[in-house]
Amino acid sequence: MQALSGIFAVTFPFFALVLCGYLAARSRLLPLDAVPGLNMFVLYFALPCMLYRFGSTTPLMQLFNPVVAVLWLLSGALIVGATAWRARRLGAGWPDAAMGALVAAFPNSGFMGVPLILALLGEGGVGPVMATLLLDLVVTTSLCIGLAHLGPSGSGDHGAAQAVGRALKGMLRNPMPWSILLGAAAGAVGLQLWAPVGKTVQLLADAASPVALFTIGAVLARSQYQVAALGERPSPLRDVGSIAFTKLLVHPALVWGLGMLAVRAGWLAPAMLVPLVLAAALPAASNVSLLAERFGADNGRVARVILWSTAVAFFSFSAVVALLG
């Protein structure tokens, strides 16, 4: 009980900030029109500075470990394949199947995972989490966007190939992977920023965690409002619950199982496995809702998965932390 109390002492403030953002936007204390600007500040200013700072101090082997890459991509591919197959069996179109698979496999590593796992494990746990973020932004997202363009409406394989190409171009405009890579390059060559610039980066990096968590809640409230305004019929609770269950429990269990095989084979250090499992136990990434809207999937369904996985993760994530000791 004492150990669980200690875990809640670390995790509670993070989820409390998400709740604050949700309530602020839900009550219109924070105007919904202000949410995109808040999101832009986090995505293009604060979070890149935080990722740059950690990238410059993280050993390259933690960021670019081939065993971590194979382990994460294999577990992600299994989650994507199983979730998309189930959705197709239930009659869903390819866009809904693909975005449902993405929301089941893509954790909120950037906005929530890096600061939360840093608080739990220290800087030694940040490197593997940032590695998973790179892989999800470049590979997992591109795979699911390609799947969303299969079928008659997506022009088959040709349409899927074009969609993956557009997804990769979109990744090139995303500042998060570039921030990690630039930080890693700066650390590798021992580059130190000019003191005034370094202080500016530090101030923005320090703002990233609280503002990002607050923004997650505001984005969730805004997504709910947009879905209600469109008059969309709510997705079955069984469907939403199944995807949220996959994200919060099946994904980390799969990463742990594959990771234990790698540890016993001597391919992966046990200390690297813990942050990977915690990253997989995070709630679904909030940006999947934007992708679902862009590619014609049921945005209401995706938004509900994100909302429920974020709410339940306060308990499930803490339970995973307790189980991992």
Taking residue 61's Cβ as centre, other Cβ atoms within 10 Å add up to: 12
Statement: residue 45 has pLDDT above 90: yes
Confidence of residue 1 (pLDDT cuts 50, 70, 90): low
Residue 89 has pLDDT above 80, yes or no: yes
Q: Which of 318, 313, 292, 257 is nearest to 108 (CA)?
A: 313
Question: Alpha-carbon distance 269 to 226, whole Å?
Answer: 45
Average pLDDT over residues 282-310: 89
Q: How far apart are CA 288 and CA 302, in angstroms?
A: 7
Lowest mean pLDDT among 64-73, 79-88, 295-304: 295-304
Under the banding of pLDDT at 50, 70 and 90, the label for residue 104 is very high
Judged against a pLDDT cut of 60, whether residue 159 lies above it is answered with: no
Using alpha carbons only, what angle is made at residue 131 by residues 125 and 133, rounded to the nearest 5 degrees?
Answer: 105
Torsion sign, CA atoms 55, 109, 269, 77: negative
259 pLDDT exceeds 60? yes
pLDDT at 325 over 80: no
pLDDT at 316 > cutoff 70: yes
pLDDT at 280 > cutoff 80: yes
List the beta strands (DSSP E) in 165-317: none
- Looking up tokens 């932390």 gives 321
Q: Number of structural domains, the chain?
A: 1
- Decide if 236 contacts 301 (C-beta within 8 A): no
Asked if residue 59 has pLDDT above 80, the reply is: yes
SS (H, E, C) 233-252: CCCCHHHHHHHHHHHHHHHH
Calculate the CA 72 to chain-centre distance. 13
**What is the per-residue pLDDT for 296?**
81
CA dist 122 → 22, 126, 129, 176, 185 (Å): 28, 7, 12, 21, 22
SS3 category, 30 = coil
Query: pLDDT tens, 196-205?
Result: 999 999 999 9
- ∠ CA 148-153-158, nearest 5°, is 70
Residue 205 maps to which CATH number? 1.20.1530.20
Average pLDDT, the chain: 89
Has residue 230 got a pLDDT over 90? no
Query: Do residues 258 and 75 lie in contact, with contact meaning Cβ atoms separated by under 8 Å?
Result: yes
The pLDDT value recorded for residue 145 is: 87
Cα 214 from Cα 81, distance rounded (Å) = 32
Given a cut of 90, whether residue 320 has pLDDT beyond it is yes
Instruction: Dig out the tokens for 164 from the structure.
Output: 């993956």
**What local confidence, expressed as pLDDT, does residue 235 receive?**
63
- pLDDT exceeds cutoff 80 at 167: no
Q: Find the mean pLDDT for residues 45-70.
A: 93
In this predicted structure, what is the pLDDT of residue 171? 65
Give the helix/strand (H/E) hosting 304.
helix 299-324
Q: What is the mean pLDDT of residues 264-293?
A: 92
Could you list the residue range(s) of the whole structural domain that residue 188 is in? 2-324
Quote the tokens at residue 4: 């669980």
